[in-house]
Structure 1
């Protein structure tokens, strides 16, 4: 299918539904349709009927207006919907009734900007907790003028978890502080005996203020900030942010830099899949796999530090390119590493895939149906294990992946075992991709200076991180500095999937279900 061949039919459907739109030029790869605030929900209804995947939503504001953006994906194309309302009355119709994935991001925009979403099914605050008053919104243009006096934040003890009553039903509160070094998150289980009837999450306990911290930064400083949105996705978020800035200013990134960015992203994917495969096995008592993957991951990350300066590849991606080049000796070392890791993983993965006691715990556990995965916008290994095959590297390729063949990794069972199999297949495919990148590594520079940004220049970054599609949107101000930055981690869609897939499982299986999804707390706690 050619690019956006479906858009004409979609626009016709919008007109039939009474939604008037006009197109606004934006940098590739997206296209943008503007519509009225009152039609925000109606457009989502048409998009859902058309089969579009809901991929994110964010707000922006100036002294006169509130503006919303929604990203849709269809057939590998990305379409931006936008609408605006007066700042004094920032009301839009909710898209949540048509896209359950919109729920928390709409509540996030409501808490931080004061956006009113008519017909939204959940009035509870999401991002705010009790750190500031109910009527104060920190990213609203008037926020500084009426900022509350600093003081101790009250305990978040009165969040109205949805009740579930019945004979033999009881609640199990877990967190927000856990018996480990993970970030805080509250899980409220309703169970009847051991089977879980419902799980409700409460996240956002360490609100970092990422969106506010981005304002006024120059591009290099934004790249450093973006690498810290979620520490295990430093490459994905930094690349998405740099890609957005580069598109906004029509920058030319050297081919060698793009190839090295691909190498960095695949190294990040390998490290995290290694860690999670072992942790999943460890959660059900198969410590052998955990010990082996931990050993291999440690060796991998030491090589990261040796070649790129940081175990987690922090600050390796910079505006216009990458921070470090590889010499010929390092290229050969990485080739040897890839072969050695592949040699060790193939027999290990054979054991994991065909070890009956492990299969007893993983097969049929934590099943996410294809229907639920579609409704929740699941991407990455969570979506792929439930039949959602979308991968930006293959379906909407960007350099260097537009010159590579990325395998289609998809399972249909939707259980923990399927999510493990997807990770194993992706990991081995990443080793092949990295070999091809090294074999065809172009000569030349590894960074280029960004042109000056025009006032109001906007750009959209889309990168297939190890968790899946990672988004960044930037807008430059009149001073050439960042006026707005919004990062959308795949975990916005992974966490609701965990709530859904735990239904009917027993409480002791929650840790392995949770680890098989491995949503980032930090990625949604902006």
Structure 2
């Protein structure tokens, strides 16, 4: 850190300038921080637009979170970075469509910071992830258990430090992670149910430890990290195209969402503006990704309660779109269709016509399915009042996407922090308020219909022009921030470039990182047999979480 920087003190002229009758969210937070003696240094212009960037001193890290929480800023993510002489720690907040990134600097030897977790539930696992991989200790963190660190490396080895090799230092054999300190069951008639980490189906590994009385769930504790792949580490040294390909594999069901966010962050760092036609094509691909995943989730929710007809019909419709993806874009999941500066695929008139036809056809089929779903008593019996996540709890957790919107949370990046092409489109954001499995089912259904309307808008308004802009190699140290509304919700990305236009730091935050803890809360008081449908209604990505 440059020690010559002067931080803004509470007695400076800035405090007087921001205390006005009509303060926006950022100015109100600044005023509160300055009144508490927090020294802040707003970086102007921000290198992370559309996010603001403010540097604070490390001892004020916890106090800043306390003030932000009191003003209802949402905690959206955190990442650290080894810069050689120091460690940079970042946290992203959001309020009223405005992102704010807090940054502080720590010495690499025995670094520590006040924890944000006492003020934000969402900070719990993110800070444990950072502690395991960077060695930063978070003071007053409510849960000191390791998280990503299973048994794959020594206690004092930190894989995201620059001196740790990408291929690791694997021991001859990795001992089983059998002594993780789960909460123990106590009391008369209380028993414990371990589920996973290896499951009977084809889902990725994750461990769920229940305490129950009879069939009623008293407590659930998740243990994830079994598919940790070292994404953040193996991103280092890649060129921009290599990073986009890696980003598309952060979570296999979200290649467009993560690729777009990585492209956005790199393009902002490089000051590259993509062609408008490329932005529209990215939007079409993203909405098609939303459609195929919502169709599959609707199918799986029907399957989990034994409604085979719904499972077959939604699965059939998804398969038709997957085959069309393969025919039009070369891949069923549309991987490798985004490149830095634009897209690698076009939508010629015949492809646009085919997609317009398939969109109209899917809408007709959904119209036929709607009364069947609405009148099915088995769906109603299993979905209504099951797995309720209250609006208050969803807000406290920062729940995203369909999970949050089923509990009254209205945030959607496409509408609230608009980016091309959504800034010129009418984005409808369906919201339910009951917060149960039924609400999460119907929000998906409504989002599916809204995606079809967006696809039609983009196909109708698809401009002519280039597919990709010329790439400009960013300067060493250039950094960028991206935010995209993926099909699960808000996806964030931070990128910093090193020498020669290579990636020095890449951090993707999948919405599952925020949403997984909600499952532990919404199953309480439900019966054990309802856990599968509760779990599917959240449908967190193991891979997107574990990085």
Q: TM-score, normalised by structure 2?
A: 0.94
Whole-Å Cα distance in 2 between the matches of residues 72 and 351 of structure 1? 42
> What pairs up with 1:257-336 in 2 under 5 angstroms?
257-336=278-357
Structure 1: state its 5+ residue gaps.
Answer: none
CA drift of 1:136 comes to 0.9
Whole-Å Cα distance in 1 between the matches of residues 326 and 165 of structure 2? 41
Residue of structure 2 equivalent to 1:14: 33
Contact 2:406 2:435 in 1 (8 A): yes
> Quick check: 1:227 aligned with 2:258?
no
> What pairs up with 1:159-170 in 2 under 5 angstroms?
159-170=180-191
For residues 389 and 353 of structure 1, do their structure 2 counterparts lie closer, same or farther at Cα, with a shift above 3 Å needed? farther
Residue of structure 2 equivalent to 1:138: 159
Whole-Å Cα distance in 1 between the matches of residues 199 and 281 of structure 2? 38
Whole-Å Cα distance in 2 between the matches of residues 4 and 213 of structure 1? 43
CA drift of 1:143 comes to 2.8
Whole-Å Cα distance in 2 between the matches of residues 149 and 276 of structure 1? 38
Contact 1:349 1:424 in 2 (8 A): no
> Quick check: 1:467 aligned with 2:488?
yes
Residue of structure 1 equivalent to 2:382: 361
Residue of structure 2 equivalent to 1:443: 464
> What pairs up with 1:400-411 in 2 under 5 angstroms?
400-411=421-432
Whole-Å Cα distance in 2 between the matches of residues 353 and 39 of structure 1? 53
Aligned partner (choices 206, 211, 215) of residue 236 of structure 2: 215
CA drift of 1:4 comes to 9.0
Residue of structure 1 equivalent to 2:93: 72
Which region of structure 1 is more displaced relative to structure 2, 143-152 or 198-207?
143-152
CA drift of 1:150 comes to 3.2
Alpha-carbon displacement from aligned partner over 1:340-360 (angstroms, at most 9, x marks no partner): 000001221232233222101
> What pairs up with 1:27-66 in 2 under 5 angstroms?
27-66=48-87
Contact 1:214 1:485 in 2 (8 A): yes
Whole-Å Cα distance in 1 between the matches of residues 60 and 372 of structure 2? 54
For residues 124 and 37 of structure 1, do their structure 2 counterparts lie closer, same or farther at Cα, with a shift above 3 Å needed? same
> What pairs up with 1:118-197 in 2 under 5 angstroms?
118-144=139-165, 148=169, 150-197=171-218
Whole-Å Cα distance in 1 between the matches of residues 394 and 104 of structure 2? 27
Contact 1:136 1:147 in 2 (8 A): no
SS at match of 1:225: helix
Whole-Å Cα distance in 2 between the matches of residues 490 and 42 of structure 1? 26
CA drift of 1:146 comes to 13
Whole-Å Cα distance in 2 between the matches of residues 301 and 449 of structure 1? 31
Which region of structure 1 is more displaced relative to structure 2, 159-168 or 329-338?
159-168
Q: TM-score, normalised by structure 1?
A: 0.98
CA drift of 1:447 comes to 1.0
> Quick check: 1:452 aligned with 2:469?
no
SS at match of 2:153: coil
CA drift of 1:141 comes to 2.9
SS at match of 1:272: helix
Whole-Å Cα distance in 2 between the matches of residues 388 and 246 of structure 1? 30
Contact 2:166 2:233 in 1 (8 A): no
Contact 2:90 2:103 in 1 (8 A): yes
CA drift of 1:205 comes to 0.8
Whole-Å Cα distance in 2 between the matches of residues 148 and 260 of structure 1? 43
Contact 1:4 1:77 in 2 (8 A): no
SS at match of 1:100: coil
Aligned partner (choices 371, 386, 406) of residue 392 of structure 2: 371
Alpha-carbon displacement from aligned partner over 1:195-235 (angstroms, at most 9, x marks no partner): 00010011111210100110000000000000000000000
Whole-Å Cα distance in 2 between the matches of residues 266 and 452 of structure 1? 30
Which region of structure 1 is more displaced relative to structure 2, 396-405 or 82-91?
82-91
CA drift of 1:13 comes to 0.4
Contact 1:249 1:451 in 2 (8 A): yes
Aligned partner (choices 518, 523, 538) of residue 497 of structure 1: 518
CA drift of 1:80 comes to 0.6
Aligned partner (choices 237, 246, 251) of residue 267 of structure 2: 246
Aligned partner (choices 354, 362, 365) of residue 344 of structure 1: 365
> Quick check: 1:390 aligned with 2:408?
no
For residues 390 and 87 of structure 1, do their structure 2 counterparts lie closer, same or farther at Cα, with a shift above 3 Å needed? same
Aligned partner (choices 13, 24, 27) of residue 5 of structure 1: 24
CA drift of 1:144 comes to 4.4
Residue of structure 2 equivalent to 1:524: 545
Q: CA RMSD in A?
A: 1.4
Alpha-carbon displacement from aligned partner over 1:230-259 (angstroms, at most 9, x marks no partner): 000000000000000000111010000000
Whole-Å Cα distance in 1 between the matches of residues 289 and 496 of structure 2? 27
Structure 2: state its 5+ residue gaps.
Answer: 1-21
Residue of structure 2 equivalent to 1:412: 433
Whole-Å Cα distance in 1 between the matches of residues 39 and 393 of structure 2? 31
